[in-house]
Amino acid sequence: MTTQATTVDAAALTKKYKKQSQFSEVWRRLRKNKAAMLGLAIMILLVGLALAAPLIYDYDGDVISQNIKNRLQPPSAAHPFGTDEMGREILARVIWGARTSLSIGFTAVLFALIVGGTLGAISGFYGGIVDNVIMRIMDIFLAVPGTLLAITIAAALGPSTINLIIALSISSVPGFARIVRGSVLTVRDVEYIEAAKAIGASNGRILLQHVIPNSLAPVIVHTTLNVATIILTIAGLSFLGLGISAPTPEWGAMLSSGRTYLRNASYYTMFPGLAIMTTILALNLLGDGLRDALDPRLK
Amino acid sequence: MSEDNKDLMLNIDSLYVEYRTDDAIVKALNGMSLQIRHGETHGLVGETGAGKTTTGLAIMKLIPDPPGVVVSGDIQLNYLDVQKATEKQMEHVRGSVVSMIFQDPMTSLNPVMVVEDQIAEVFEQHEKVNHAEAIKRTHEMLELVGIPAERGKEYPHQFSGGMKQRVVIAMALAGSPGLIIADEPTTALDVTIQAQVLKMMKDLKDRLGTAMLMITHDLGIVAEICDKVSVVYAGRVIEHGTLEDIFDRTRHPYTEGLFNSLPNLRDRKAMLKPIKGLMPDPANLPGGCPFHPRCNYVMDICSTERAPRVYRTEEHYVACHLYNADNIQQGGMIQRD
């Protein structure tokens, strides 16, 4: 670094290589995966629609107000997805339903990730008795099928959005705890963790700085796929009347009320069903793509 | 030796370490003794499984427990009794009093952190400086090991093996420790890079006055940078002396065997003379001198009794039944080509 020229060269080199963080690596690989990009595009579209819902349809005017005159109209130019038994625009309810399903899905997964992730990380990192106690409690939760557990909790707490989120989070916590624990276990004994110990780093620091960032890959994949499962469970719970209560638009609840008219107005159930299917498909495509992109063996 | 202890950086006295699993008790160290003075480079030579790395980890108090157990013995690290030290004390000591350079630079750096943050961690941990100051010091460290400071913002996978090892060395030196344990620091590097890295380590060590424990099985490296050498076999030092003692006045048959296993550059047609047999299973060590089943000079006593130390000079000693106070001086008990 004696002359100006070499400094500039080094700076240019740095700029060129700086961007090659692991994140950009993964993004580069993910971009090559067409299915995953399709999934991502659909998810962006859905999230965009959900966010823009108030701009497209008025909640009070189009989504929940009844208009019996127009009940059960088949799809047409005036009613793209048709109308339901109250004369409400199905397209409006599907779009507003995305808002409900996606927000509850992501919030529930976020809670499950924080709680399950913390438990799993502690369990995997400290091992021994701590590990045993935490994981046996998780096993108890895992012994009950997820949907059944959610139904039980939702039924016990009563139907409300918050309760639904709690029910869904609790049933997802053990899965996250397992995934994070397994991932932490593989990272815990790697040499750079030993190297971090050798420079005197404390346990907390090692866990936060070295272990968790390196065990994120499978967790990201599980999160994506879990959002799909949870959206499906919300629909299932609403279908059973334990989820979102009327008149709030929700895909599962729409399926539930539409099934009475299945014979004459199949479009009523078809569109919310399609919405659910598309969302789950998109999330699964994205999750699978992420799994491949994050797999270090494919590097 | 008691008044000598004052300038000892490290004093290990008859250390016994075992790895206890359900299947077997692996005796990794069996009476390991080692003294390193301030600023001195000490080579620890031996085959795979001789207990070299265990010695290094024991000094750092990083032996994985379970299954590792320190059965008995004493480790004095710059007046600190490592066995009695608490985890909190050790966290302070690691990195600032003693640090370690690991064998494989490919795996000893965190792949998702830029290298300057990893080095800065040492400053933040030990000197309670803020991040900006730590990064500034890190850049100085990087320049010191011959890496442009600008490259600190890169990730480990963007460095070559030799560069990574330089980063690891910078990390080890950052806390200006009194002792560096280098666990086969060049094994994973190719030969030309090995020479560079070794030379750099030697220069830095001399400049900073750090003592070093060089764990290796490469006698070439030992010849290049070590002041003292201890030859380890089955968890115990069997011959110890200055570099010249070990290379030119070899006494122990095992040490001799190590030299005979080296290719001879002057006579390329000469056959190598490997030491017969294999390293004994540390879970099932032979009685007496653990080397006796492989030794060309084996006597009856070798299979029953462990050999005591016989001193040739104050420094140079051998643990072998071939020698007594009289014949140790002239040597000649073993043939050397």
Task: Give domain limits for chain B.
Answer: 3-97+177-330
Please tell me which residue, B98 or A72, carries the higher pLDDT value: B98
DSSP secondary structure letter of residue A89? B
B-chain residues within 8 Å CB-CB of A200? 90-96, 122, 125-126, 175
pLDDT at A20: 54
Q: How confident is the model at residue B5 (pLDDT cuts 50, 70, 90)?
A: low
Q: How confident is the model at residue A139 (pLDDT cuts 50, 70, 90)?
A: very high
Residue A145 vs residues A150, A151, A172, A237, A238: alpha-carbon distances, Å? 9, 10, 10, 14, 18
> Quick one: which of B17, B3, B27 has its CA closest to B73?
B17
Cβ–Cβ gap A198/B96 under 8 Å = no
Whether residue A19 is predicted with pLDDT greater than 70 in this model: the reply is no
> Quick one: which of B329, B279, B225, B260 has its CA closest to B46?
B279
A-chain residues within 8 Å CB-CB of B90? 200
Could you tell me the residue ranges of all domains in chain A? Answer: 98-244+275-298
Cβ–Cβ gap B104/A191 under 8 Å = yes
Q: Could you write out the DSSP letters of every residue in B43-112? A: EEE--TTSSHHHHHHHHHT---TTTEEEEEEEEEETTEETTT--HHHHHHHBTTTEEEE-S-TTTSS-TT
B-chain residues within 8 Å CB-CB of A192? 107-111
CB nearest to A200's CB, from B92, B104, B151: B92
Total CB pairs under 8 A between chain A and B: 95
CB nearest to B60's CB, from A192, A198, A209: A198
Q: How deeply is A9 buried, as exposed, middle or buried, from its count of CB atoms within 10 A (0-12, 13-18, 19+)?
A: middle
Is residue B127 within 8 angstroms of chain A, CB to CB? no
**Section A187-193 average pLDDT:** 86
CB nearest to B158's CB, from A1, A20, A191: A20
H or E element in which residue B124 lies = helix B115-127
Tens digits of per-residue pLDDT, B214-271?
998 888 888 888 999 999 998 889 999 999 888 888 888 888 888 888 887 777 777 7
Residues of A with CB under 8 A from a CB of B: 1, 10-11, 13-14, 17-18, 20-22, 190-192, 194-202, 205, 209-210, 213-214
Which residues sit opposite B10 in a β-bridge? B36, B77
Whether residue A18 is predicted with pLDDT greater than 50 in this model: the reply is no
pLDDT at A6: 47
A-chain residues within 8 Å CB-CB of B107? 190-192
B-chain residues within 8 Å CB-CB of A194? 62, 102, 108
Residue B114 vs residues A199, B36, B332: alpha-carbon distances, Å? 17, 34, 56
**For an interface test with B, which of A8, A192, A206 has the most B Cβ atoms less than 10 Å from its Cβ?**
A192
Is residue B313 within 8 angstroms of chain A, CB to CB? no
Distance from the B212 Cα atom to the nearest Cα atom in chain A, whole angstroms = 15
Q: Phi, psi at residue A265, to the nearest 5°?
A: -130, 70
Tens digits of per-residue pLDDT, B280-315?
888 888 888 888 888 888 888 888 888 888 888 888
Distance from the A189 Cα atom to the nearest Cα atom in chain B, whole angstroms = 10
- The residue of chain A with its CA nearest to that of B119 is A199
Alpha-helix runs per DSSP H in chain A: 4-18, 22-32, 34-56, 90-126, 128-143, 146-157, 161-188, 191-198, 203-205, 212-214, 216-239, 251-258, 266-294
Put the strands of the sheet holding B317-319 in their side by side order. Answer: B98-101, B179-183, B211-216, B41-45, B228-233, B236-242, B317-319, B309-311
Is residue B160 within 8 angstroms of chain A, CB to CB? no
Residue A296 CB-half CA count within 13 A: 9
Identity of residue A47: V
pLDDT at A12: 53
> Quick one: which of A223, A119, A104 has its CA closest to A167?
A104
Whether residue B335 is predicted with pLDDT greater than 70 in this model: the reply is no
Least confident of A22-26, B106-110, B250-254: A22-26
**Section A105-127 average pLDDT:** 92
Is residue B95 within 8 angstroms of chain A, CB to CB? yes
Cβ–Cβ gap A196/B110 under 8 Å = yes
Distance from the A180 Cα atom to the nearest Cα atom in chain B, whole angstroms = 17
Identity of residue A65: S
CB nearest to A197's CB, from B94, B96, B158: B94
| Cα–Cα distance measured from residue B247 to residue B223, given in angstroms and rounded to the nearest whole number | 8
Instruction: Show which of residues 173-232 on chain B sit within 8 Å of chain A, judged by CB atoms.
Output: 174-175
Distance from the A194 Cα atom to the nearest Cα atom in chain B, whole angstroms = 8
Name the percent of chain B lying above pLDDT 90: 9
Q: Phi, psi at residue A290, to the nearest 5°?
A: -65, -40
| Cα–Cα distance measured from residue A92 to residue B272, given in angstroms and rounded to the nearest whole number | 85
Whether residue B2 is predicted with pLDDT greater than 60 in this model: the reply is no
Report residue B85 as tokens. Answer: 């030290």
CB nearest to B122's CB, from A192, A199, A202: A199
Residue A65 CB neighbour total at 10 angstroms: 13
Cβ–Cβ gap A191/B112 under 8 Å = no
| Cα–Cα distance measured from residue A219 to residue A216, given in angstroms and rounded to the nearest whole number | 5
ipTM > 0.90, yes or no: no
A-chain residues within 8 Å CB-CB of B121? 196, 199, 201, 205, 209
Is residue B288 within 8 angstroms of chain A, CB to CB? no
pLDDT at A178: 93
∠A117-A123-A125 over CA atoms, to 5°? 95
Name the CATH superfamily, with its identifier, for domain A98-244+275-298: MetI-like (1.10.3720.10)
- The residue of chain A with its CA nearest to that of B158 is A17
| Cα–Cα distance measured from residue B212 to residue B246, given in angstroms and rounded to the nearest whole number | 18
B-chain residues within 8 Å CB-CB of A13? 150
Is residue B82 within 8 angstroms of chain A, CB to CB? no
| Cα–Cα distance measured from residue A180 to residue A169, given in angstroms and rounded to the nearest whole number | 16
- The residue of chain A with its CA nearest to that of B95 is A199
| Cα–Cα distance measured from residue A217 to residue A239, given in angstroms and rounded to the nearest whole number | 34
Statement: B3-97+177-330 belongs to CATH 3.40.50.10540: no
